[in-house]
Amino acid sequence: MKITLLKLALTVSLMISTQAQADQQTITAIENASMELNLSELVNLQESSNGYDRALANYRLGLNYSFVQQQEKAISALNKATTQLIDLIKINNQDNESWALLAQVYGLRIAYQPMNGIALGPKAANALTTAQTISPNNPRVLLFKGVSKYNTPAMFGGSKHQALIELSNAIEQYSNDQHSEFHWGFSEAYTWRGLTQLELGNKDAALADWAKAVEISPNYGWAKNLLKKNS
């Protein structure tokens, strides 16, 4: 009986661990659908994926629903992503990728529901700090640090100059990320750095960053629109 229970426990543990693993092919499909604002494909990918991939799909759905003014659906998708990422961290509290994405999800929820900032702000900061402690050179951790510094008001610790540093560090680290099985965000880092450069008065550098983002991801609508708008 004990042997049977042990086998069952090991089987369940293996199933949970397998579901938590990222699949680069699925992640790439999620990113492509998001860049093209393909909501139906994102929904399909969210429904057919597991673990980290499903949380990423819900995070991207949260962004995309907001772009098309479907705020309730956006918030619902982000709430699902939050629950899924917390579940992954309970399985493995050293899961730096889930910690990093959780920080970004919290940040986006604050952007959509500012009144929740008092409760979610510390959670976002803790998640990002934890991710950085586990893996300080993870490019997505650095990307999210840069985005946070860009979006946070100066009186609360935000800084466009610090955002530029973090985003540049992220871009540098992406060169070692190609085979991580979690590879996403490279063109996004260039896009955010371009926005930061524009805020700092460096328009030519901003245009160069957005052009690089489109070079990496030719169907990236956000970067293409920024190039068109500012050229």
pLDDT tens, position by position, 210-220: 999 999 999 99
Q: What is the pLDDT of residue 16?
A: 42
Name the average pLDDT for the chain: 91
Percent of the chain having pLDDT more than 90? 86
Q: What is the pLDDT of residues 26-47, one digit of tens each?
A: 999 999 999 999 999 999 999 9
CA 100 centroid distance within chain: 7
**Three-state DSSP state, 114:** helix
Q: Tokens standing for 205?
A: 């550098």
Q: What is the pLDDT of residue 170?
A: 98
**Three-state DSSP state, 94:** coil
Q: What is the pLDDT of residue 2?
A: 46
Neighbours of 104 (CB within 10 A): 24
Q: What is the pLDDT of residue 15?
A: 41
Report, as an integer, the average pLDDT of 140-158. Answer: 93
Residue 139 pLDDT greater than 70, yes or no: yes
Q: How far is CA 178 from CA 142, 174, 175, 202, in A?
A: 16, 7, 7, 29
Instruction: Sort 158 into a burial class: Cβ within 10 Å, 0-12 / 13-18 / 19+.
Output: middle
- Rounded to the nearest 5°, which phi and psi values hold at 54? -65, -40
Q: What is the pLDDT of residue 21?
A: 62
Q: What is the pLDDT of residue 179?
A: 86
**Secondary-structure breakdown of the chain: helix, strand, coil percentages, each rounded to the nearest 5:** 80, 0, 20
- Residues with Cβ < 8 Å from 230, sequence gap 6 or more? 198, 203, 206, 207, 210
Q: What is the pLDDT of residues 64-116, one digit of tens each?
A: 999 999 999 999 999 999 999 999 999 999 999 999 999 999 999 999 999 99
Sign of the CA dihedral 194, 198, 200, 201? positive
- Residues with Cβ < 8 Å from 103, sequence gap 6 or more? 124, 125, 127, 128, 131, 144, 148
- pLDDT category at 156 given cuts 50, 70, 90 is confident
Q: What is the pLDDT of residue 204?
A: 98
